[in-house]
Amino acid sequence: ETGVTQTPRHLVMGMTNKKSLKCEQHLGHNAMYWYKQSAKKPLELMFVYSLEERVENNSVPSRFSPECPNSSHLFLHLHTLQPEDSALYLCASSQLRDSGEQYFGPGTRLTVT
Amino acid sequence: GENVEQHPSTLSVQEGDSAVIKCTYSDSASNYFPWYKQELGKGPQLIIDIRSNVGEKKDQRIAVTLNKTAKHFSLHITETQPEDSAVYFCAALPGFRAGNQFYFGTGTSLTVIP
């Protein structure tokens, strides 16, 4: 596989569930990102990892918990979410944190019921 | 922080016509401006970008222009085709400093009518 992959592509979960989103990049990049995409809103940066270290956390509620075990994999652990958390969650990677070009995965469409 | 505004939010053109999408930004330190195309069910894909030391860049049917003085940049698509139908996003990246991140526009939904 090439590029940035995300699983699952679709997820429906109740507010009391715990689930995880997975992202994998096959580009040899050193920085990875989680974004939230909601209708009619700009992409919202949630977390940034550079060389497996979290370097950005944009006031994201603690019910979202990221994990970066190595430079190729990124997880977003979800628990006790709210209906307003329903959105498309996009993972991206770049060569370096400030290199400019970011490559996005296809996203996970999350619905919280 | 940076604020990026994008217009129009929707755009319909006849096949073969040109399409122009405009973005403005507020932070004069921004120095990198990518454009992304997002098709239904897919993530955003980088289609063209421009850095602040360049005024215009072209790649086949797409071009981007940058006016640093006015703080705006535009995407131009010529000879549009139905497969150009998608949502297009602009973004701005302030200069390299701590806390650096992309700021995105709200997107333009482009429909090319056959």
CB contact under 8 A, B49 and A106: no
CA torsion, points B7, B81, B35, A71, in degrees to nearest 10?
140
Instruction: Count other Cβ atoms within 10 Å, centred on residue B92.
Output: 25
The pLDDT of residue B100 is 65
Q: CA A83 from chain center: how many Å?
A: 18
**Looking at chain B, how many residues does it have?**
114
**Mean pLDDT, residues B82-86:** 97
Q: B6 with B105: CB under 8 angstroms?
A: yes
Instruction: Tell me the pLDDT tens digit for each residue of B26-59.
Output: 998 898 999 999 999 889 999 999 998 889 999 9
CB contact under 8 A, A56 and B43: no
CB contact under 8 A, A41 and B45: no
Flag whether residue A93 sits within 8 Å of chain B, measured between CB atoms.
Answer: no
Question: Predicted confidence band at A2 (pLDDT cuts at 50, 70, 90)?
Answer: low
Helices (H) and strands (E) in chain B, counts: 0, 11
How far is residue B109's CA from residue A101's CA, in Å, rounded to a whole number? 22
pLDDT at position B75 over 90? yes
Which residues on chain A are in Cβ contact (under 8 Å) with B49? 100-101
Q: Average per-residue pLDDT in chain A? A: 90
